Amino acid sequence: QVQLVESGGGLVQPGGSLRLSCATSGFTMDSYAIGWFRQVPGKRREAVSCISSTDGTTLYTDSVKGRFTTSRDNAKNTVYLQMNDLKPEDTAAYFCAADSMGRCYSSAYTYTERYEYFGQGTTVTVAS
């Protein structure tokens, strides 16, 4: 059974940091690209980042560049999203997702349809 389980969300003040984790099971994570998405109620799910399976290439949406970093530990079947200098507009539910194509392409990583599996999400609230 495929599972992606996000954790690490919570309430943080503006300027603070959080590290999200995405623990995976039921598939060979080291062959998959892993994306992070976020969603605010009433809005479309937005791609945040992607990390490739092979060389660890990463891509980020412009609004998080320089603040967020994604990484992976294939031995632990876990992907991370380190979020620094958080802003109120980062408030959202965050989801990780797995793409069997393995590579992150700037022209495609933002499309939810590209990913076979999604987790249930963890909520991040940035407020003072």
Sign of CA dihedral 27, 28, 29, 35: negative
Segment 81-125, tens digit of pLDDT: 999 999 999 999 999 999 999 999 998 999 999 999 999 999 999
Nearest to 81, CA basis, from 35, 12, 28, 24: 35
Segment 31-40, tens digit of pLDDT: 999 999 999 9
